[in-house]
Amino acid sequence: MSRPTAMPPALDNLDPIATNTKMDLHANYPALEDLRSRAQKRIPKFVWEYLDSGTGAEATKTRNRTELDKIGFTPSILHGEVEPDLSTSFLGQALPLPFGIAPIGMSGLIWPGAEPHLARAAANHNIPYCISTVATQSPEDISTHLGKNAWFQLYPPRDPDIRTDMLNRARTAGFTTLVLTVDVPESSRRERQVRSGLTNPPTITPRILAQIMTCPTWAMETAKRGMPRMRGIDKYVSVATKGMSPTAHMGYLLRTSPDWDYVTWLRDAWDGPFIIKGVMRPEDATRLEAAGADAIWVSNHAGRQFDGAPSTIEVLPAIRAATNLPILFDSGIESGLDILRARALGADFIMLGRAFHFALGALGAKGPDHLVDILAKDMIANMGQLGARNLTDLPPHVHLG
């Protein structure tokens, strides 16, 4: 039984990389791990530690991976030819793929020009791109690169006037969906990041300069643009950062730890889809549904905030049972198979953050397109093994080992 060689119609003309180039990329970088390995060589160590690290002993980061690997599927036989359909819908949007690009603060530090590269890739593939409040580009900077699935992630400002202004700026720039992150009440320690010498904002010490000199492409591209800073919050920062934790940043001068009243305020202030990111308990999902959220995002911040949390895949089924809201999912996703695992256990849509930045670090502007191709091909290959014609066919095949 041979697997279909053609991509689904929804994917046919989405990738701008020429066919022969795509073949070369798949020969050299057939999986995310290949992109990760190359990115580590092309990104200065202090930047790599910022991207790749968790917090504490990184038990939560490890647990995300370990628990995903426990989710298996029982293959099907004699199901005839299968041409898997990867399309889905989310928040009223028909989408060709069940995954999108999650926010990471200071993306442009990880790879120069990251935010516009990611926004353009998302627009080309008609998938969501979520930009962080603490990105190196402002909403206005990125507006011309956005597709129709542009999401703005909000670290909650304490001042209501700043809050209102941020929402207005995001709306005017073309962001249609608001994502409130609720799992960062305090800055985490991220010990690996501290040991690397990274501070916020980055300071060029002899140690940091030595790391930069080993990565000439990153250095030259960064020199063209200048040292990254959080342009989206420039206009609000009027106090010094002296005395702050080295893993904190200027965004912490503005933000608060939100409560339920804060969620109500935002729901009233934002007239588009409203998502709450960082949900790990069923009872919170139920209450957020009553509070008017349009979707919830199951996430433990990829192990970057709290090292005592369960993996997201462990809590997903109970959260799915507790709410009728659409569920986004992240933390630990590294392959198309992982995307299928999350879908099978109740997620409606999957978001990847580190993975897309590994792709940028490895291949620059071509990286995100290649990663989309890797994930799609991996999903098709695995769905073919299962005889799954679409994403709703997955749950009966789940085998919990």
What does each C-alpha distance from 220 to 111, 119, 212, 226 come to in angstroms? Answer: 11, 22, 10, 10
Phi, psi of 186, deg, nearest 5: -140, 155
Considering the candidates 301, 357, 370, 397, report the single residue annotated as catalytic. 301
Contact status, residue 182 vs residue 277, Cβ threshold 8 Å: yes
Joined together, the tokens standing for residue 376 give 């799609």
DSSP string, 231-280: GGGGGG--S--TT--TT--GGGGTB----HHHHHHHHHH--S-EEEEEE-
DSSP 390: B
Q: Name the one residue in this structure whose structure tokens are 């900077």.
A: 141
Q: DSSP 3-state assignment of 207?
A: helix
Q: Name the one residue in this structure whose structure tokens are 């990286």.
A: 367
Joined together, the tokens standing for residue 23 give 């073949």
Q: What span, in angstroms and rounded, lies between the C-alpha atoms of 248 and 201? A: 9
* Single-letter amino acid, residue 314: E
* DSSP strand pairing (99-101 vs 349-352): parallel
List the beta bridge partners of residue 131: 152
Q: How many residues in total does the chain contain?
A: 401
Q: Is 249 a catalytic residue?
A: no
CB neighbour burial string for 159-182, b if at least 16 within 10 angstroms, e if fewer: eeeebeebbebbbebbbbbbbbbb
Provide the annotated active-site residues: 301
